[in-house]
Structure 1
């Protein structure tokens, strides 16, 4: 069953762009996908995360913050084939 990870970002954030590229590359061929979410488009998300992006989540579980945690994403992929 494919799943969608949420990538909290903001426009013009180089770290966000870098994490998006790396996460998409890791998920390629897995059937899973990344759903980007601009924190600036939602006042509640902006208040919650502020400048603390990028963040990669599976539902309410945080996988990565600021940079891709390769081990965490590989473990997530192992548990979600």
Structure 2
């Protein structure tokens, strides 16, 4: 099962919005969403600080700030092939 890595912050409204919009897409593809709070890791905070939320699949960034549903669908479909 593919895991979408969602990097964000607990207090970030954009992170909450992306997670909510991502859930039905992930469910449709049988993908899990792994939430990572960047404030719990100094290296992640330094890397993603003002970019959150950042969505990553297999090490490749799919989108940040706002969900790109088409990019996520395409990446998950390509991973199945």
TM score, norm. by length of structure 1 = 0.91
Q: Counterpart in 1 of 2:5? A: 6
Give the match's secondary structure for 1:68: coil
Give the match's secondary structure for 1:67: coil
Whether 1:66 and 2:65 are equivalent positions in the alignment is yes
Q: Counterpart in 1 of 2:26? A: 27
* Alpha-carbon RMSD: 1.1
- Give the Cα–Cα distance (whole angstroms) in 1 for the partners of residues 59 and 77 of structure 2: 19
Q: Judging by fraction of residues, say which structure has more helix.
A: 2
Give the match's secondary structure for 1:75: helix
Count the aligned residue pairs.
Answer: 80
Moved over 4 A (4+): none
Give the match's secondary structure for 1:25: helix
